[in-house]
Amino acid sequence: MSGMQKDLQAKILESTPHIIVLESGTTLRLHEWEEVVDLVMEVDGVVGAAPFVLSQVSVARTGTDGLYPQSANLYGISIDTGRVAPTEMERQIVEGIYNLTLPESGLSPLLMGVGLADRMQLFEGDTLLVVSFENLKMDILGGLNPTMRQFEVTGVFTTGMYDYDMQNVYTTLEAAQELVGITNPGVVGGVGIRTRQPELADEVRGKVQESLGFPFYAESWMTTNRALFSALRLEKIAMGLILGLIVLVAAFNIVSTLVMVVADRTREIGILKAMGMTRSGIMRVFVLQGAWIGVAGTMVGTVCGLILALLIGHFEIIRIPPDVYFVDHLPVSLNPFDVLGIVVASVTIAFVATIYPAWKASRLEPVDAIRHE
């Protein structure tokens, strides 16, 4: 679960801004975005900021008369503001180019997630129809019609996140504004911010909020994805409980093994006590025997577990449904503190498990033990 959390966090930070700024009282509309960006860039810890427009759209292949449409999240982004981009999408391009320049066809450029492109069988240079239901227009009969525009696929990206690759498409800020009916170039959906240290995004968010004031409000990636990471923490706790139960079962095996040894070696124990061996000496023998079993088992299990974890991480052996877990394989992250904690806990439980059999052996009376058959 540590690997899952670390992998998802890295992909989220690559694909989304660390902080987004929105305006209260509007439906994803922020006014005077240039002033907002200038104020945000003065905040300590901010390294990049850019406007965006977000809209729910429907996309369909050109020539299908709008049949077999797919829903998508259309992002209008500005990538030439002269500042650090809020995301690392440029690294995620697997086909085409990132800079969203106008293609030779004159159509607006579009970047698609690899999952959506594969489902619709679209490649670089193909055209598609994008339909927006935000900008409805009335026809001569009084009916409301959505706004439709043709776009050309100029690039395909992969984030490694199933939802992002299946739903997100990107175009220029101006094309998105025109599609959703924003006529004022100073109006956008919001401003995306990139911070110097993502783990301190909440602290920077507070500074951004203080700098902008009402009616603006800022949200960090931690707040936006709180439900996801809370679920992962709960699953990690559940996995820890399961691991603890497995160790307890192993401890009971050690107890039963030592009890059998005591029963089998009762006569020898009696002879040792008759020769002058103390109760503490008898206890020490069985505690050391049980501790050796626990340490040996823990070391063998740790080595085998580390090898297996490395193999799973390198060859991506365990495949999982991406529409459920966001990624298509089980990521592995080896945390030295997690490994050390498990080793210490296992050895401690194994040691505690030896106390009862050792105590039982030390309580045997020499005469009764020697007579034992």
Number of domains in the chain: 2
> Could you report the per-residue pLDDT of 163-195, keeping only the tens digit for each?
999 999 999 999 999 999 999 999 999 999 999
Residue 157 lies inside a defined structural domain of this protein: yes
Q: Is there a single domain that holds both residue 154 and residue 283?
A: no
62 with 158: CB under 8 angstroms? no
Beta bridge partners, 220, equal: 19
Domain end, chosen from 227, 259, 281, is at: 227
Is the peptide bond preceding residue 215 cis, with omega within 30 degrees of 0?
yes
Q: What is the mean pLDDT of the chain?
A: 86
Q: Is there a single domain that holds both residue 155 and residue 68?
A: yes
> Could you report the per-residue pLDDT of 320-346, keeping only the tens digit for each?
888 777 777 888 888 888 889 889 988
pTM: 0.77
Q: Is there a single domain that holds both residue 47 and residue 103?
A: yes
Q: Which residue has the tokens 């810890």?
A: 45
Q: Which residues contact 363 (CB under 8 A, 6 or more apart)?
A: 279
Domain end, chosen from 171, 196, 227, is at: 227
Q: Which residues contact 138 (CB under 8 A, 6 or more apart)?
A: 144, 145
Cβ-based burial of 335 (10 A; exposed 0-12, middle 13-18, buried ≥19): exposed
Q: Is there a single domain that holds both residue 112 and residue 260?
A: no
The parent domain of residue 325 ranges over 234-371
Residue 159 lies inside a defined structural domain of this protein: yes
55 with 36: CB under 8 angstroms? no
Residue 3 lies inside a defined structural domain of this protein: no
> Could you report the per-residue pLDDT of 80-107, keeping only the tens digit for each?
655 667 778 888 888 888 888 888 888 9
* 262: Cα within 13 Å, side-chain hemisphere: 23
Residue 5 lies inside a defined structural domain of this protein: no
Give the per-residue pLDDT at 265: 78
Residue type, 136: L
Give pLDDT tens digits along the chain (373 positions): 677 788 888 888 888 999 999 998 767 789 999 999 999 999 999 999 999 999 999 999 887 655 678 999 999 998 765 566 777 888 888 888 888 888 888 899 999 999 999 999 999 999 999 999 887 776 666 667 888 899 999 999 999 889 999 999 999 999 999 999 999 999 999 999 999 999 999 999 999 999 999 889 999 999 988 888 888 888 888 888 888 888 888 888 878 888 888 878 778 878 887 888 888 888 888 888 888 888 998 899 999 999 998 898 888 888 888 877 777 788 888 888 888 988 998 888 888 888 888 888 888 777 666 665 5
Q: Is there a single domain that holds both residue 215 and residue 242?
A: no
DSSP reduced 3-state for 52: strand
